[in-house]
Structure formats: structure tokens, C-alpha cells
Amino acid sequence: MRQFWTKASKQPSCKNLSYVNFPSKLIEDAVTEISRLPGIGKKTALRLALHLLKQHEAHTEALSLALTRMRAEVSYCKTCYALADEELCTTCQSHKRDRSLVCVVEDIGDVLAIENTNQYQGLYHVLGGVISPMQGIGPEELTCERLVDRVKQGEIKEIILALSATMEGDTTSFYLGKRLNPLGVKITSIARGIPVGGELEFTDEVTLGRSILTRINYSQD
């Protein structure tokens, strides 16, 4: 019999949780799988597993079905390579979007972050990563050429490079600039500067320098 605690017994701390013997192999398997998720340790995984065990069976089945359908049915948009339920994502299907404007991002998480600002009304192009020679990732592993093909169609007038301010992000931006410049499309990059609420003395020199070089006219509006 695998040892386990009751409500009256002391629950193991995060330190010794790896040595806990579970009363059920099924619970142990569930904890192991949940702990594979990013940011989820064994202790949190155990809490989630026990929480699900206490829920009504229909709720647990609904979660299981949602995860299964997500894994089996979600695919990539054939135009921008964001996640989609159909051939085209909802953004590419929308007639309210400015199709002459495309924002290039690294991953789907960046799309969600920009969408949450409610400030952008154009389309997207998800590269699926950034160029990183150290990790063996070149332009061929990304959707760079598909972006070039989209620009060649003539509908796109401006490309916004919204990539991370890292060496890999700058390398990718430089590569895309070299590939897109001959096509006559306008290429811009998102501004990089001091965050709202940030203090100058705690800002790194590169960010502070770029903020000064890319300064804008002051307005009281």
C-alpha cells in the first residue's frame, strides 16, 4: 500500500514531495503528466489532480474533451500561420482588417499580446521562431519565404517587424529587411523605449540610448 496523507495528517512540503508514495497509480500518473506543463511543479500538479478528482465527473470529462479536440483539430492558418480552427484564422477572415498592413511576430503568444492592446487593426504573419545559428535555426525552419510570397502578391503596403529586442530578433529583422527591401514594401519596426512607469536609473543603456535616438515630439494632448 502506497503511503498517503489524510485531512488530519500533515501534507508533505514541496521539498519532499518527490518522495511521496501515492495510494493510487492513476493519481501518480496524473500528477506526473500535469507536472510536465511549463511552470507546474509536483506540488501544484498534485493540488490540481486532487481538485479534478473532487469535481463532478461531467466537468472532468469536459476538460478532457476540450484538450483532446484542441490537440486534434487546431491547425495553422494557411495565410498567416497563426492558430486556427479552419483553413483561415478569424483575423484573416475578418473584412474589418486592414489587409495592406502586416505585423510580423515570432509566435502566437505575441499575436495575443498585440490583440489585447486593441490598437492594431491589420493582419499578422507568425514566423514560428527567430533565426538562431547557435540552436541551428535558420530561415528555412521559419515562414520567412512565405512572408516574401505574401508581399509579392502586391496587396501588402507595410510590414511591421514586431520581434524581440534580442540578438536573434535583430538578426531575423535584418534578414527580413534584406529580403523585403527589393520588393518596394514599406518596412517599419515597433518602437523600443522606456516602459510606462519605468525609472531612467534602472533602464539599461541600450534601451535608454534607443529611446533618445527615436524620440518623438512632446504633446500635451
pLDDT, tens only, 171-211: 999 999 999 999 999 999 988 877 777 777 777 887 788 77
- pTM (predicted TM-score): 0.76
pLDDT: which is higher, 212 or 175:
175
**46 to each of 51, 64, 75, how far by Cα in Å?**
8, 17, 31
Strands 83-84 and 75-76, how do they pair?
A: antiparallel
Q: Write down the domain spans for the chain.
A: 17-73, 89-190
- Residues 6 or more apart whose CB falls under 8 angstroms from that of 155 comprise 99, 100
Q: What pLDDT band is residue 115 in, cutting at 50, 70 and 90?
A: very high
Compute how many other C-beta atoms are within 10 angstroms of the C-beta atom of residue 22. 17
pLDDT of the residue at 14: 45
What backbone phi and psi angles, to 5 degrees, belong to 194?
A: -75, 130
The answer to whether the 17-73 and 89-190 domains have the same CATH topology is no
Query: 8 pLDDT exceeds 60?
Result: no
Q: Which CATH class is domain 89-190?
A: alpha beta
* Domain 17-73, CATH among 1.10.8.420, 1.10.150.80, 1.20.1260.10, 3.40.50.150: 1.10.8.420
